[in-house]
Chains A and B, each alone.
Chain A
Amino acid sequence: MRKKLKQSFIDQLEGIVGSKNFSTNEIDRIVYSRDASVAEGVPEAVVWPESVDEISQLLFLANKERVPVVPRGAGPSLSGGPVPLRGGIVIDLSRMKKIISFNEKDLQIHVEAGCVITQINNFLLKQGMFFPPDPASQDVCTIGGAISTNAGGMRAVKYGVTDRWVQALKIVLPTGEKTWIGTKTRKSVSGYNLAKLIIGSEGTLAVVVEAILSVYFVPETRRMIKAFFNDFESAGQATFQIMSKGLNPSIMEFLDEYTLGAISKYTGANYCRGKAMLLIEVDGSRDEVERKLPKIEKTLKENKGFEIEVAADDEENLKLYSARKAAYPALASLSLTCDVEDATVPVSRLPEMLKSIERISKKYGVYIGTFGHVGDGNIHPNLLYDERKKNEREKVEKAINELFETAIKLGGTLTGEHGIGKAKSNFMKLEHSPESLQLMKSIKKAIDPNNILNPGKMGLM
């Protein structure tokens, strides 16, 4: 057990960031003890640095004193990633939110880590550009958080997840050194790809303080299509075929019967048909979209899709998009607690995964509403229960275990976009070989020998 922070350490910390950016008050510490997961851990101090130098000095000091440091963005995370399990200091990067520069020639934007994705997009939209990764929390999540968790979103099916759009990162190492990693060029095979190592490392290796991101042109047009299915196999087959025919949708979402019922109740519009709905978006030039739409429609029909409807205009697009966005609130309104998982499988194994979810729901008597990004095999089973009831918690825990085991058996992964954090720490062994886990631990040890950065996460140390 580590000793409490020494007063001299606290004084030095306050000296680095200034009293208005520092607190050891219980009220400020308590609110940084949680994210959107069940993980809990109260920090001993919270700091809101305003410069890279402050973070560097702070890490140098913490490393010297062996004090845990947990970087945090907006904390919408579902994995416990930013929860300080071993106390120490939380670095809230929210106050470092400057857009430093925009390079329209190279289509790159340089931002501080505390910038919110929507803030970046509001800036870019004025130039006709956008940053494509669109996690559901994009209105609040910081780019630093998105990088640390390699966040995805609905449009990842076409545009990929965060790492595809990160050129270079300014990081502070646990020992306090500052450095840029990555490149501003489109191609580079110069040395190890350190930026890719840091992306998705959940603040266990370095604190991301600035980023140079690639951005892209806003597509000329977007159109949505919906179709209902009477069984998961048909919906899964349609998904698989649309993807394998290279139709490259920008959104490819699945919603199961239970979720559709919840959305209908929540929005007042009736989406209750069959067993499932697919919601697909294509974007690009008008020509490209017009060319793809009939091919998608045909594929849906061939796979027993019914009530296939192409949105006629932006208003209808928005209606369908909003229905999908209502999935989580609609399910959450049905019970006190809603646990969102994100096991991911190869697209070809989706029908099996979906059937297994149904089986697991029945086996444990837990309501599960499933929706998600089927185009990349990333689905979100939402487990509904009352967290106050021990027996319900236990049933949910067992169901989640089996969900993970099933995904791994099908060649999948524990998490498509939420991250490991604390929540899935114990399951790392399921997915990774002892050798690869050892390799991860060796990397961690090499970069953070004193294990001060976000300890207790990702099944590392």
Chain B
Amino acid sequence: MSGLTHEMRFHLKDLEEDILKCSRCGFCRASCPVFEVKLNESWNARGRILLIRNLMEEKIGISEEFINRIYSCTLCKACEVTCPTGVKTEDILLRTRKLMAKENLLPEQFREMTKVIMETGNIYGKRMGLPEQLKFKNKEDRGNLVFIGCVAAYGYPEHAENFLQILKRVKYKFYTLEEERCCGGIMKSIGLEEEFSRWVKRNLGRIETCKPKKIISICPMCSHTLKEYVNKATYPFEVVHEVEVLRDLIESKKIKLKKKLDLKVSYFDPCHLGRYLQVFETPRRILSLIPGIEVIELGRNKQFSRCCGGPIRSIFPEIRDKLSDSIFQDAEEKGVDLLVTSCPTCYHNLYASSVSFDLEVIDLAELVAMSMGIKEKT
């Protein structure tokens, strides 16, 4: 059990007004996906904020259980949607984690993960070259850079390949980096702000040397991380997610969706694309333009979408499993053929659950590739 250092005491006070905005009505119980699994107040937004308040008031210290509760939040922002007083839980937790991480009061797995990223450049823990099929050279200044991100590049290269092949087919000019590195978003969510800052600066330095006009990211977390930083530091390029490019190419008829797919699907909104970047309609628009696709909304969708549990999978794998299972249960009740998403991390977590259900998960770009005839329907 740790008491408060002078520095923590000083900075926790900065959180006071934000914490006191919580009226403890508990409306976050309706949306917090982790609470839905645990059904214990200390695993809910209201509980976590009350714990931070008690820490600030020095009624409690930082115990292992305290660390668990603070780090069990997936930062999915669902609680902010149902909060009537506008409490910014994600921000409060990030700032608290920052203070805790400075004192090394964070789960060992997260510290280890950061070390791995710093050493190898990605979350997989070994230095890897970009798969050949994802290498596209930069032939012009001010071009479109596809920032694949480490999960899609090394974990699911076939997803990245689908997207790149679509671009190639419609003669959309783009290039990729020689090595894909983690965007650093994980470090930020852990609270390792200094490490994150250094990392993202280095990443953007690499990006700047090839002078892109636009960065197209495949992973929503990369989109959000880069966008936030780029905006803050006024870099001369814009950041978009792949679904925004796909939608534009489909609507301008450059992408021709010819093949009828005859599928009933539900779309799962990734937190970073949905609640963070407010991109809800674009993927649905794409699905609506694919011949033969019928979209049936999940019970919890858009702003109210659940979280796949990705951010806490290394420390609470059992919660992650239940979170992604609940998304599948929702989809199964809707009687759909496929669950579609547009985030490689969500895909990873949902895929782990798919084995227990008679239902598969698919990346949105793959459906587009199928309808274009680039990829066979399996």
Contacts and interface: CB of A to CB of B under 8 A. Distances in A.
Most buried by A among B25, B63, B66: B25
Contact of A36 (B23, B42, B59, B69): B23
Given A27-B60, A30-B50, A34-B50, A75 B23 contact: no
B288 interface: no
Interface in B38-78: 39-42, 44, 46-47, 50-51, 54, 59-60, 63, 65-66, 69
How many of chain B's residues touch chain A, expressed as a range? Answer: 20 to 34
A309 interface: no
A353 B17 CA distance: 33
A94 B32 CA distance: 14
Contacts of A28: 40-42, 65
A140 B20 contact: no
A26 B60 contact: yes
A83 to B, nearest CB: 11
Contacts of B47: 31
B168 to A, nearest CB: 44
Contacts of B63: 26-27
Given A329-B85, A329-B86, A36 B20 contact: no
Given A30-B59, A31-B50, A140 B41 contact: no
Interface stretch (A170-178, A214-222, A299-307, A332-340): A332-340
Interface string A19-35: 00001011110111111
Contacts of A333: 85-86
A358 interface: no
A356 interface: no
B26 interface: yes
B83 to A, nearest CB: 8
Contacts of B65: 25-28
Contacts of B85: 329, 332-333, 338
Nearest to A332: B85
A231 interface: no
Given A26-B60, A48-B40, A137 B20 contact: no
A116 to B, nearest CB: 8
Nearest to A73: B26
A28 B51 CA distance: 9
A31 B45 CA distance: 11
Contact of A337 (B16, B20, B29): B20
A332 B41 contact: no
A332 B82 CA distance: 14
Most buried by A among B17, B26, B30, B59: B26
B30 A336 contact: no
A31 B42 contact: yes
Contacts of B291: none
B57 to A, nearest CB: 11
A395 interface: no
A78 to B, nearest CB: 8
Contacts of A118: 30
A27 B66 CA distance: 6
Contact of A139 (B30, B40, B41): B30
B136 interface: no
A27 B53 CA distance: 12
Contacts of B84: 328-329, 332
A25 to B, nearest CB: 5
A196 interface: no
B13 to A, nearest CB: 11
A74 B20 contact: no
A31 B51 contact: yes
B11 interface: no
Contacts of A48: 39-40
A387 interface: yes
A76 B23 CA distance: 9
B173 interface: no
B334 to A, nearest CB: 13
A153 to B, nearest CB: 15
A388 interface: yes
A36 B25 contact: yes
Given A328-B84, A329-B86, A338 B27 contact: no
Contact of B20 (A76, A94, A336): A336
A336 B19 CA distance: 10
A140 B29 contact: yes
A74 B46 CA distance: 11
A241 to B, nearest CB: 33
B20 A388 contact: yes
A333 B84 CA distance: 9
A152 B179 CA distance: 61
Contact of A92 (B17, B20, B40, B82): B40
A332 B26 contact: no
Interface string A115-131: 01010000000000000
B21 interface: yes
Interface string A324-350: 000011001100111000000000000
Contact of A30 (B23, B29, B44, B51): B51
Interface in A234-261: none
A23 B38 CA distance: 13
A393 interface: no
Most buried by B among A30, A33, A118: A30
B230 to A, nearest CB: 29
Contacts of A74: 26, 29
B256 to A, nearest CB: 36
B137 interface: no
B29 A31 contact: no
Given A95-B39, A332-B84, A332-B85, A27 B69 contact: yes
A272 B114 CA distance: 53
Nearest to B16: A388
A337 B30 CA distance: 22
Contacts of B46: 31
CB-CB nearest 4 A-B residue pairs: A31-B47, A329-B84, A31-B41, A139-B30
Given A140-B25, A140-B29, A388-B20, 17 more contacts: A27-B42, A27-B63, A28-B41, A30-B50, A30-B54, A30-B60, A31-B42, A33-B50, A35-B24, A36-B25, A116-B30, A118-B30, A137-B27, A329-B86, A336-B21, A338-B23, A388-B16
10 contacts: A26-B63, A27-B42, A27-B66, A28-B65, A75-B26, A76-B25, A95-B39, A140-B27, A329-B86, A332-B23
Interface of A: 23, 25-28, 30-36, 46, 48, 74-76, 92, 94-95, 116, 118, 137, 139-140, 328-329, 332-333, 336-338, 387-388
